[in-house]
Amino acid sequence: MNIEINIANLIAQGVKHIYNQDITPAELTVQPTKKEFEGDFTLVTFALTKLLRKKPEERNRRGFRRIC
């Protein structure tokens, strides 16, 4: 199993815990971070906007800072 899959699994568990929403790791996009940014991997969060019913700014401020 590669690290992107491991990260997606952990994020799916975090979404369930924080938002009480089920999401499969396959629905998440984890990719290597572009060289001009800090970090090794990036979670693309736009697909989660509809599921979580939150604007990206709200969603990123509340939960994803705690998950990652």
Q: Over its length of 68 residues, how does the chain's per-residue pLDDT go in tens digits?
A: 699 999 999 999 988 988 888 999 999 999 999 999 898 998 888 777 777 776 666 655 555 555 54
Long-range contacts of 27-32 (CB under 8 A, 24+ apart): 30/4, 31/4
Within-domain flag for 14: yes
Chain centroid, CA 4 distance in Å: 11
Within-domain flag for 34: yes
Asked if 56 and 45 count as a contact pair (C-beta separation under 8 A), the reply is yes
Within-domain flag for 61: no
pLDDT number for residue 60: 58
Within-domain flag for 48: no
pLDDT number for residue 26: 92
Within-domain flag for 30: yes
Within-domain flag for 5: yes
Number of folded domains in the chain?
1
Asked if 40 and 32 count as a contact pair (C-beta separation under 8 A), the reply is yes
Instruction: Supply the range of the domain harboring residue 24.
Output: 1-43
